[in-house]
Amino acid sequence: MVKSWRGKKVLVMGLGLNQGGLSVAEWFCRHGARLTVTDLKTAVQLRASLSKLKKVPGAKKIKYTLGRHDYQDFCGQDVVIKNPGVPNSSPYLARAKKSGARIINEATLFFSVFPGPVIGVTGTRGKSTTCTLIHQLLKTKIKSHVLAGNIATQGMMAVADKLNTRSFPVLELSSWQLESLDEQHFSPPIAVITNVLEDHLNRYRNFSEYRSAKFALVKYQKSGDCAVLNFDNKNTREFSKKISSRFYFFSLEHKVRGTFVRQGQIYFFDKSKTELVMPVKRIKLIGAHNLSNILAAITVAKLMKISNKNISLVVSKFCGIKYRLEYLGKKRNVAVYNDATSTTPDAALAALQALADKSVVLIAGGMDKKLDYRALARQIKKQVKFLVLLDGTGSIKLQRELRRLSFPAGNLRVAVKTLRNAWQLAWTEAVKNQSIILFSPAATSFNMFINEFDRARQFEKLYYGQKAS
């Protein structure tokens, strides 16, 4: 892309509060670019990111436009790095293009500076869990490897300069990050798609456009590359008909070339040979969705020639990651699960199904992404003892579906303004009914929280602050 960034005019559009924008800005600072950072959030809101950025050598020269965007900032730039949340239709990007700037994102930048092999993972659900398990499996074979990307641990550019030819980074990639890779006609040599379900329809014109963004992960793979696809998800399965690479499936229901389950055992099948990998009962995570994620990671491990012994050892110790159907503990015989990263009805549905034998007090709701809540409403009617809905357009939509199903009005509290109030309502009901508490919003909550990790941490504090007596 560019051999040297020293003196180049670069604008980072969206510093944000996660790691991506920050790691990009830090990287350009270290490489001597003439940097401008702009974000709709104010300096107060961005305090955490700004305090880290200001410690980087050269940070004093950064120009900031915060709390707004200024059209003048987008004129005369060599490159604009857009945050994944910035739509391609932004008039500011149009101004930058008109003035000759190249528009890229963090993923495009990373692949331009690191030419080595990469494992890319995307999907509507299960990306972070799958990435983390792949990362842990790789530790048994490869010394130099990292986990980065859309997962909240570290941005890609935070590790870009630390990699070498022996490195094998595992990258979590969102649909927004993949848009720029599509424009560059690039796909990583090993690509995993966990599933493609309805999401972000407030950003994409329709589901087909969203699905196309996900397809970019495998679209440009070559014959020597490998794609790992979910056979049980029709949208993902169909991708296999459109790619040039060798593909492997994972499935809970069918024998496939790849990894599958049969009579409580996990098998890997390839080239007429079926291997027993491990028994399902050794897995600690609950839920069919988590088992599917584990099968995806095992498929990658087999492609990387990791032994079945090591696979079984790592998988059997894997307890999942924070805020994904995370078991916090039990007080007064009430078990509590934190699934705060659930931002879609499908995700909340999977969480409920994983707890299908339990009586549940559910805290859910937030802002709608133009998604379908009917299936979730049916599961709630069947399983949920008491429902607390946070304020938001998604909650209104879910409430409408529940009304159609005649969900008991006495078992529902709506438009709850704070998570603390929601917790108090849920706790009272759970103690009374000896039910479990599940926080699985099925929506975003930007009207109440910074992001899903913020609401996860707040929920965690409420649980640990609750007296057991």
Q: pLDDT tens across 97-136, in order?
A: 999 999 999 999 999 999 889 999 999 999 999 999 999 9
Q: Alpha helix (H) ranges present in 194-306?
A: 207-219, 234-239, 288-303
CB 188 within 8 A of CB 119: yes
How much is the pTM?
A: 0.93
Nearest to 275 by CA among 231, 317, 305: 305
Average pLDDT of every residue of the chain: 95
User: Tokens for 284?
Assistant: 């600690």
Burial of 408 per CB tally in 10 Å (0-12, 13-18, 19+): exposed
| Count of other CB atoms within 10 angstroms of residue 109 | 24
pLDDT of residue 87: 86
| Count of other CB atoms within 10 angstroms of residue 68 | 11
| Residue 152 clears pLDDT 80, i.e. is over it | no
Task: Provide mean pLDDT across the span 170-174.
Answer: 94
| Residue 220 clears pLDDT 90, i.e. is over it | yes
pLDDT of residue 25: 96
pLDDT of residue 469: 63
Say which range, 38-47, 84-93, 340-349, has the weakest mean pLDDT: 84-93
pLDDT of residue 122: 98
* Model confidence pLDDT, tens digit, residues 3-59: 789 999 999 999 988 778 999 999 999 999 999 999 999 999 999 999 999 999 989
What are the sequence ranges of the domains in the chain? 9-104, 108-317, 326-465
CB < 8 Å & 24+ apart, contacts of 61-64? 61/34, 61/35, 62/25, 62/29, 62/35, 62/36, 62/37, 63/35, 63/36, 63/37, 64/36, 64/37, 64/38
pLDDT of residue 147: 86
> For strand 147-149 and strand 170-172, is the pairing parallel, antiparallel, or unpaired?
parallel
Task: Provide mean pLDDT across the span 296-319.
Answer: 98
Q: Kindly give, in sequence order, each residue whose CB lies less than 8 Å from that of residue 171, ignoring residues fewer than 6 positions away.
A: 107, 110, 118, 119, 120, 121, 131, 148, 149, 156, 188
Compute, in degrees rounded to 10, the torsion defined by CA atoms 239, 81, 185, 31. -120
CB 267 within 8 A of CB 259: yes
Burial of 3 per CB tally in 10 Å (0-12, 13-18, 19+): exposed
CA 112, chain centre distance (Å): 23
Compute, in degrees rounded to 10, the torsion defined by CA atoms 333, 329, 318, 155. 150
CATH topology of domain 108-317: UDP-N-acetylmuramoyl-L-alanine:D-glutamate ligase (3.40.1190)
| Residue 1 clears pLDDT 70, i.e. is over it | no
pLDDT band at 463 (very low <50, low <70, confident <90, very high): very high
Say which range, 147-161, 216-230, 233-247, 441-455, has the weakest mean pLDDT: 147-161
pLDDT of residue 464: 96
Sign of the alpha-carbon dihedral angle for 443, 449, 453, 455: negative
pLDDT of residue 286: 96
pLDDT band at 144 (very low <50, low <70, confident <90, very high): low
The helix or strand, by DSSP H or E, that contains position 251, with its residue range, turns out to be strand 246-251
The second-level CATH assignment, the architecture, of 9-104 is 3-Layer(aba) Sandwich (3.40)
Task: Provide mean pLDDT across the span 202-231.
Answer: 96
Interatomic CA distance for residues 403 and 401, integer angstroms? 5
User: Tokens for 61?
Assistant: 């020269």
* Model confidence pLDDT, tens digit, residues 157-167: 998 988 887 88
pLDDT of residue 455: 96
Say which range, 130-139, 164-173, 254-263, 310-319, has the weakest mean pLDDT: 164-173
Give the CATH superfamily of 326-465: Mur ligase, C-terminal domain (3.90.190.20)
